[in-house]
Amino acid sequence: MFSKNFPKLTQLIPRQGASLNGKLSTTSAQAAQLKGLENEPNEPIIKTNIPGPKSKELISEIGNIQQAGTVVFFTDYEKSTGNYIADADGNHLLDIYMQIASLPLGYNHPDIQKVIANPKNHNIFVNRPALGTNPPMYLFEKLSNIINSVAPKGLNMIQTMACGSCANENAYKAIFIRYNTLMRGGKELTQEDLNECVMNKGPGCPDLSILSFKGGFHGRTLGALATTHSKAIHKLDVPTLDWPIAPFPRYKYPLEENTEYNKKQDEECLKEIEQIIDHFNTVVKKPVAGIVVEPIQSEGGDHHGSPYFFQQLQKLGKKHNSMLLIDEVQTGLGATGKLWAHEHFNLPESPDLMTFAKKMQIGGYFYSDKFKTQPYRIFNTWLGDPARILFLEETLNVIKRDNLIQLNKEVGDYLLANLRNLCKTYPGLIANARGLGTFCAFDGATAKIRDDLILKLKNMGIQCGASGDVAFRIRPSLIFTKNHTDIFVDRLDKALKSF
């Protein structure tokens, strides 16, 4: 079933000298010319309005058994290839959104197909293990390979989970457990600790908190949701934890023309963050055990923080014994032209923990051994999915072999230059082009203009997304090339002209 018609890369990238962080790259020029997968269409193919009649029918059917208000169109995954998503009505759209930023190699990548076709792997697809109790024999080798190739320096342990929300959720628990262990100062647990915690009471259930940021997004499960502040729709009617919420910088663009204003933003936010930590530690008496932050606030509207801001934030955390958790769920695995977005910040050391999901195919977090807990304290039935670990291993091989992080950086620079030009051409409609690698965005003058633009582009064959109040976000795969950028920019220009 999977062996026929594997798409092939039209132009293979020389393999020598490539590394995951691009440091050894000697192949950047060739990488930037990579065209995509062999049987991708040359350009979008649009036959109907989107959603088309078949999608509409399916949306109406599924609406009878679940909430279908979020469905854009039904997808034909067999016909989707590389950077192009095919829908139920025979349309093929250039996908610069990639399943909410989660597909690193596009659709039906030949090397991932090979993992599925390999009979040696079939037992893992047939038998889904409970990884914490009966892991497959190869687990140590696979996870060690992942740690060796992508873990931030010093974070030499990994906890796998199913998704980004539960990655954060469990990383928060790891922070609290570490914090309280330190606070106990080696004292034995008392019977009171054990009895009371079961009833949600102290001292075993301590009043600690995680500081998060206005506009941040860390997931929709209850603990993660308490640190999510991007949109009311995520939070409405759900009780939450009263944890500290601090301001995150809001810059003016282009950055190089607004350095003074932006530096002031950094300083004001940092000052307020420290005041809030102090207040929670000493007045509210809900000590800030951890700080959770995205390198770029993604769902909240693509808000960036400077290297200076993040360096100072790390310092503040250390000063107040608040552990720093960087959430790379959306920004991770090469999306910003570096392996992890926080590498752009030149932090003197790695964060205490770093969560991942989306492009990594499994959720989880990297940590150092000081966060290792007793058995069953961080645990659930599946603890992720070893089939996805196989896909991740192959994805990492392909990223390295094809020098895709370097490609992302070069294509991203090209994309951003084009977006800046369009902002100059259509100043009443769009502004504030920004980004790292292909992780780019710009703002619509209003939410309506942004939303209309997305709709127009969809019907011109571009699958794209929104973030925050007015941002248009771009989250292509790592095999997105200059060629694809040209097609997108051409359609964007035409769509803007039509307003």
Ligand X SMILES: Cc1ncc(COP(=O)(O)O)c(C=O)c1O
In the shown chain, the binding pattern of residues 298 to 317 toward ligand X, with x for contact by CB under 6 A and - for none, equals: xx------------------
Catalytic option among 338, 358, 409, 482: 358
493 is annotated as an active-site residue: no
Per CB under 6 A, contacts with ligand X among 262-301 are 294, 298-299
Torsion of CA 306, 310, 312, 313, to 10 degrees: 140
Minimum CB separation of residue 120 from ligand X in Å reads: 29
Minimum CB separation of residue 440 from ligand X in Å reads: 16
Position of minimal CB gap to ligand X: 164
Per CB under 6 A, contacts with ligand X among 345-364 are 357
- Closest C-alpha among 392, 359, 391 to residue 114: 391
Q: How many residues bind ligand X (CB under 6 A)?
A: 14
In the shown chain, the binding pattern of residues 320 to 339 toward ligand X, with x for contact by CB under 6 A and - for none, equals: -------x-xx---------
Output 303 or 409, the one with its CB closest to ligand X: 303
HSE (CB half, 13 Å, CA atoms) of 12?
Answer: 9
Cis peptide, bond prior to residue 135, ω within 30 of zero: no
- Residue 163, interface with ligand X (CB under 6 A)? yes
User: What is the 8-class DSSP label of residue 151?
Assistant: P
207 is annotated as an active-site residue: no
Minimum CB separation of residue 295 from ligand X in Å reads: 9
In degrees rounded to 5, what are phi and psi of residue 184? -70, -20
User: What is the 8-class DSSP label of residue 322?
Assistant: P
Cis peptide, bond prior to residue 41, ω within 30 of zero: no
Per CB under 6 A, contacts with ligand X among 207-236 are 217-219
Output 32 or 166, the one with its CB closest to ligand X: 166
Count the residues in the chain: 499
Output 56 or 338, the one with its CB closest to ligand X: 338
217 is annotated as an active-site residue: yes
Please, what is the Cα angle at 344 between 369 and 101, to 5 degrees?
Answer: 85
Residue 75: count other Cβ atoms within 10 Å of its Cβ. 19
User: What is the 8-class DSSP label of residue 249?
Assistant: -
Output 224 or 457, the one with its CB closest to ligand X: 224
Task: Find the part of the chain contacting ligand X (CB under 6 A) among 82-90, 160-168, 194-202, 450-458.
Answer: 160-168
Hey, what amino acid is at 384?
G
Hey, what amino acid is at 144?
S
In the shown chain, the binding pattern of residues 396 to 435 toward ligand X, with x for contact by CB under 6 A and - for none, equals: ----------------------------------------
Instruction: State how far the Cα of 196 lies from the Cα of 128, in Å rounded to an integer.
Output: 36
Output 91 or 395, the one with its CB closest to ligand X: 395
Catalytic option among 89, 266, 302, 327: 327
Instruction: State how far the Cα of 179 lies from the Cα of 324, in Å rounded to an integer.
Output: 12
Catalytic option among 240, 381, 425, 446: 381
Radius of gyration of the chain (CA): 23
Residues near 256 by Cβ (< 8 Å), separated by ≥ 6? none
The residues that touch ligand X, with contacts defined as CB under 6 A, are 163-165, 168, 217-219, 294, 298-299, 327, 329-330, 357
By annotation, the residues acting in catalysis are 217, 327, 358, 381
